[in-house]
Structure 1
Amino acid sequence: MNDLDVNAARDTETAAPSIQHHADWLEHRAPDITAVDSHAHVFTRGLPLAAVRRHAPDYDATLDAYVAHLKSNGVSHGVLVQPSFLGTDNSFLLAATKRYPRRFRGVAVVDVDISEHELQALDQCGVVGIRLNLIGLSLPDLRTGAWPRLLARVNALRWHVEVHRQAADLQVVVDALLSQGCTVVVDHFGRPDPHAGAADPGFRYLLSTADSGRVWVKLSAAYRSASGSDGLALGKALTERLLDAFGEQRLVWGSDWPHTQHEELIDYASSFEALEAWVPDVSRRRSILTSSACTLFRIP
């Protein structure tokens, strides 16, 4: 058993005796909003994998383990994002949002020609956006083909479009989405170059989109844009500039649990604690964790 299997087993062992207790905590108490985790993934080994994928974890990130992390850190709500390696089969994610409909929202990955019926079914299961995970892929032309029709239908549902791409290419993608009236959510601080950090031209472009009023940024997974273990310091530098540009009203925090491919650098509690270092002001931090996230993810 490798280290990741050991960690996953430990999570499962911790969660298993209290599964019903966690379920009671999530669905039978009044859903007071203490904090919203805007970015996490759940999956298990053995699920059908996408034909094109960068990796596939060899451990389980179960819903019960995730719920245990939420409870132990005082986080009341979560947004589950479809992992890229599961492709457009969102069934595992939907099972989670249906299990905890008052507490969880979903962000799906869909085919560009998805039917209206399928979109409506996703909407009824708590999905509030689609994700374009474009890391390692050719950039699509979002202004042509079937894309404008899909984006118009996404807009009609009042969903957002989540973008995961290195900062150098954000302008191409985000400009195309904004020109079609989309609400845009940029993943993981915009993924600036690890060496350039806040000086990355793509990150500076991201700051310029604040004036549109339709772009949100996730304060999550700074370690994906940092050299070594410098994620905490980079996150603070990036957050300061994002707060100046966007204010706290259009920033949200995400754990990025289970931190795929970076499990050795961080855990859930450390990810949650990082926000305090990034946003020392209690009032602003509370807004990011609650009212901002509730507005974006339509949590009443």
Structure 2
Amino acid sequence: MITVDSHAHIFERNLPIVHSPRYLPGHDATLEEYLGYLDANGISHGVLVQPSFLGSDNSYLLAALGRKPQRLRGVAVVDPEVSEDELSRMADSGVVGIRLNLIGQPLPDMRADPWPRLLRMLTALNFHVEIHRQAGDLAQLLDPLLSASGVNVVVDHFGRPDPALGVDDPGFRYLLSCAASRRVWVKVAASYRNGPDGRGAAIALAAMPLLRKTFGLERLVWGSDWPHSQFEATESIQAAKARLEEWLPSSADQAIVLGETPVHLFHFA
């Protein structure tokens, strides 16, 4: 049975980085290490997400996909003026989406050039757009994506609700309302990024029944968030899998979130 880790990163310290990165790791996270962790935890497939500090130079990601084309898929970071040919080459290499990591960044106007052109190309390639942004800003991003294009959207890390508000965050409630579009998926991953001292874990427990009720398991995917940047000392793939078992005690439910849903979303079949 195929099982998919839908969110992981690989990198090396000697790779070219963007100017003034928000975060820069002090260690390597190689493909060999990652595959070893997958094997040790009984996970057959993985989705590699381009790290923010590597910007739109996806060469390291693409090289990794080329080494394990059956086992891996990729989510790239691109300039919004990227060419159709370059996107097509990425698709041929196993890329299935692009990521907008907008933490600490200005919000783009998705209705203004060059975004509509890019969204049309992504839709034609059956790519999704992955959004990483605090819940309070999701409406400004998702409204134009869902109303003006046919692109599918994947929202990272439970939608990043405000730690103080949790599931009562109006932005998280807005995210729940987007389930009706059937074009939004949510990654139930890295709950520790939604608040310290157990707050993120508590939010995840409160969020899961709401996400399940509105989106259904066929719109939820799980990710390990390996190598757990900034949380390396306390997190692991094993711990991430244990959390999924806490959120979804039924093995049948886990099989959907680990297998059936990501297999279709990330084009493993």
> What TM-score comes out, normalization by structure 1 length?
0.88
Query: Partners of 2:223 and 2:134 in 1: how far apart?
Result: 18
Q: Report deviation, 1:97.
A: 0.7
Q: Distance in 2 between matches of 1:131 and 1:153?
A: 15
1:122 aligns with 2:122: no
Q: Deviations over 1:250-286 (max 9, x none)?
A: 0000000011112233111101111000111221111
Letter in structure 2 aligned against 1:279: L
Q: CA deviation at 1:228?
A: 2.2
Give yes or no for the alignment of 1:277 onto 2:216. Answer: no
Residue in 2 that maps onto 1:296 = 265
Aligned to 1:59: 27
Task: Measure, in 1, the Cα distance between the counterparts of 2:188 and 2:119.
Answer: 25
Letter paired with 1:195: A
The superposition leaves residues 110-133 of structure 1 with CA deviations (integer Å, 9 ceiling, x where unpaired) of 001111111111001000000000
Mapped partners of 2:39, 2:59: distance in 1: 24
Asked whether the equivalents of residues 229 and 265 of structure 1 are also in contact (C-alpha less than 8 Å), the reply is no
The RMSD of aligned alpha carbons is 1.0
Paired residues of 1:160 and 1:185 also in contact (CA < 8 A): yes
Which deviations, in whole Å up to 9, do the C-alpha atoms of 1:156-203 show, x marking residues without a partner? Answer: 000100000000000110111112121000000000011111111100
Say whether the 8 Å CA contact 1:195–1:227 is kept in structure 2: no
Tell me how far apart the structure 1 counterparts of residues 247 and 195 of structure 2 sit (CA, whole Å): 15
Code of the residue aligned with 1:78 in structure 2: it is G
Aligned-partner Cα distance in 1 for 2:263–2:52: 25
CA distance in 1, matches of 2:42, 2:31: 16
Partner of 2:123: 155
SS, match of residue 256 in structure 1: coil
The aligned residue for residue 109 of structure 1 is 77
1:193-208 → structure 2 map (5 Å cutoff): 193-208=162-177
Normalising by the residue count of structure 2, what TM-score does the alignment of the two structures yield? 0.97
Identity %: 54
Structure 1: give runs of 5+ residues left out of the alignment: 1-31
Write the distance in 1 (CA, Å) between the matches of 2:32 and 2:201: 28
The amino acid of 2:54's aligned partner reads L
- Structure 1 counterpart of 2:228, which letter? H
Contact 2:7 2:46 in 1 (8 A): yes
Tell me how far apart the structure 2 counterparts of residues 176 and 248 of structure 1 sit (CA, whole Å).
25
Residues 179 and 215, structure 2, Cα contact 8 Å, conserved in 1: yes
Which region of structure 1 is more displaced relative to structure 2, 249-258 or 233-242?
Answer: 233-242
Aligned partner of 2:108 in structure 1 is 140
What CA distance in whole angstroms lies between the structure 2 residues aligned with 1:141 and 1:60? Answer: 35
Establish whether residue 50 from structure 1 lines up as the match of residue 50 from structure 2: no
User: Quick check: 1:155–1:182 contact (8 Å CA) kept in 2?
Assistant: yes
Looking at structure 2, the residues matched to 203 and 249 of structure 1 have their Cα atoms a distance apart, in angstroms, of 19
Distance 1:60 1:210 in 2: 37
8 Å CA contact 1:50–1:86 kept in 2: the answer is: yes
Alignment-derived partner of residue 222 in structure 1: 191
- 2:143 corresponds, among 175, 178, 187, to 175
CA distance in structure 1 between the aligned counterparts of 2:23 and 2:196, rounded to whole angstroms:
21
Separation of aligned partners in 1, 2:254 and 2:159:
20
User: How many Å separate the matches in 1 of 2:243 and 2:63?
Assistant: 30
Letter in 2 for 1:85: F
| Structure number with higher relative contact order (C-alpha < 8 Å, ≥ 6 residues apart) | 2
Q: 1:146 is matched by which residue type in structure 2?
A: P
CA-CA distance at 1:52 after TM superposition = 4.0
- Which residue of the partner structure matches residue 64 of structure 2? 96
Structure of larger gyration radius: 1
Once structures 1 and 2 are overlaid, which stretch shifts more, 164-173 or 259-268? 259-268
Q: Which amino acid aligns with 2:93?
A: C
User: What is the rounded CA distance, in whole Å, between the counterparts of 2:191 and 2:64 in structure 1?
Assistant: 26
- How far, CA to CA, are the matches of 1:43 and 1:231 in structure 2? 26
Give a deviation string over 1:210-262, Cα, whole Å, max 9, x none: 00010000000111012223433322211111001111000000000011112
